[in-house]
């Protein structure tokens, strides 16, 4: 009888053990099946790689560099499409409301995207925390460029009588626009910010023609503009010097900052961590989204792409989708209501 009892107890235990052993096998089979479904969906399809600013700028260059690699990992045709408007917000609104078919990939300037949402701008119809994140392409410091022949040679020159700096921007929260506004407020310097440009490349040309004096831009774009002789790098706005422009001092090194100035500049740096984010439309089917994320990761960690980026100073440093989402959540909850109102008044003063 005891032997029969032992057999009756052992049978379910063995069954449970077999189920535990089978679990990973079944999960692996499901994962492979989902990957096969994703590969079958994308094969022969056309994926639109949306850029929210004009041709020739840093984001456009990144998209055109990444597109061929993503095409290979997806097994699809990837075409770059520029949708210009409001410093990228128009494109982001469209992507957030597009059909959730996984056939749109958008490279987002995370800093102004978060800032636009943080300030409850009227034309913001997206939620950065609810988009389907595909990963961060690269995060980077920003740099202050000045015209080559600008009389401003040192930070002390900023405060000379009659000095007024004309900045170019595409929109109030476009990166160049809000960066200029925050810099001018923090340092208490005399500025004029001219909106309406299509991208950083167009602003750089305006500086070269003498129409504008300054541009606030990512260090990769700044290094390109500086190298081309269109403008010169004046100060790095990050907490650390740019690896691309190691001889350019940071604003924290070059200027004695009071507490308020430091708060402004550190706030701007806190949202810089979002960098260049890749997203797609909310609601993409899970198995399709998983395949798309895997394809993006494979493309962005391809040694050939990384080497190509290094040659052109378009550096790639992939970070996982969950990192991007958490940084967005942090950026949108980092300031008090009173601080938010201060930021709104400074950044949106032209509206």
pLDDT one-digit tens code per residue, 109-157: 898 889 889 988 878 899 999 999 999 999 888 999 999 999 999 999 9
Judged by phi (left if over 0) then psi (alpha if -120 to 50, else beta), residue 60 lies in alpha
Structural domains in the chain, CATH included, are: 40-139+273-339 (3.40.190.150), 142-271 (3.40.190.10)
Assign 8 to helix, strand or coil: helix
DSSP state at residue 229? T
- Measured in residues, the chain has a length of 351
Strand spans (E) along 83-190: 104-109, 132-138, 142-146, 165-168
Angle at 218 between CA 300 and CA 55, to 5 degrees: 75
Report the distance separating Cα 66 and Cα 74, nearest Å: 12
Tokens representing 93 are: 């609104």
| 3-state SS class at 46 | strand
How is residue 292 written in tokens?
A: 């798309």
Mean pLDDT on 232-256: 95
CA 103 to mean position of chain CA atoms: 20
Closest CA to 351 of 215, 92, 173: 173
Indicate if the pLDDT at residue 226 is higher than 90. Answer: yes
Q: Comparing 13-22, 211-220, 221-230, 314-323, which segment has the lowest mean pLDDT? A: 13-22
Q: What is the pTM of this model?
A: 0.74
Spatial contact of 39 and 295, defined as CB atoms under 8 Å apart: no
Looking at residue 350, its pLDDT comes to 54
Model confidence at 194, pLDDT cuts 50, 70, 90, reads very high
């Amino acid at each position: 009888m005891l032997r029969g009892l032992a057999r009756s107890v052992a049978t379910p235990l063995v069954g449970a053990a077999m189920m535990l052993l089978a679990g990973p096998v079944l999960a692996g089979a499901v994962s492979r099946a989902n990957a096969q479904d994703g590969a079958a969906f994308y094969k022969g399809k056309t994926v639109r790689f949306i850029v929210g600013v004009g041709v020739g700028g840093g984001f456009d260059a990144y998209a055109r560099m990444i597109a061929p690699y993503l095409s290979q990992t997806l097994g699809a045709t990837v075409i770059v499409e520029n949708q210009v408007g409001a410093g990228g917000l128009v494109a982001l609104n469209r992507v957030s409301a597009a059909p959730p078919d996984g056939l749109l990939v958008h490279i987002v300037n995370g800093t102004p995207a978060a800032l636009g949402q943080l300030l409850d701008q009227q034309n913001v119809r997206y939620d950065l925390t609810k988009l389907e994140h595909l990963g961060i392409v690269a995060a980077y410091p920003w740099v202050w460029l000045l015209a080559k022949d600008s009389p401003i040679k040192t930070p002390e020159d900023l405060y000379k009588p009659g000095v007024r700096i004309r900045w170019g921007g595409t929109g109030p929260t476009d990166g160049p626009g809000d960066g200029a506004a925050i810099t001018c407020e923090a340092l208490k310097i005399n500025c004029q910010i001219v909106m309406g440009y299509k991208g950083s490349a167009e602003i750089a040309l305006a500086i070269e023609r003498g129409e504008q004096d300054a541009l606030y831009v990512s260090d990769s774009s700044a290094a390109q503009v500086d190298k081309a002789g269109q403008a010169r790098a004046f100060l790095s706005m990050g907490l650390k010097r740019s690896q691309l422009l190691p001889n350019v001092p940071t604003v924290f090194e070059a200027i004695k900052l009071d507490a308020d100035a430091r708060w402004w500049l550190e706030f701007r740096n806190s949202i810089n961590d979002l960098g260049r984010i890749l997203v797609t439309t909310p609601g993409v089917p899970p198995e399709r989204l998983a395949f798309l994320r895997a394809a993006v990761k494979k493309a962005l960690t391809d040694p050939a792409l990384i080497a190509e980026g290094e040659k052109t100073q378009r550096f790639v440093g992939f970070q996982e989708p969950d990192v991007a989402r958490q940084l967005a959540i942090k950026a949108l909850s980092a300031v008090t209501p009173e601080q938010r109102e201060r930021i709104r008044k400074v950044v949106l003063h032209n509206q």
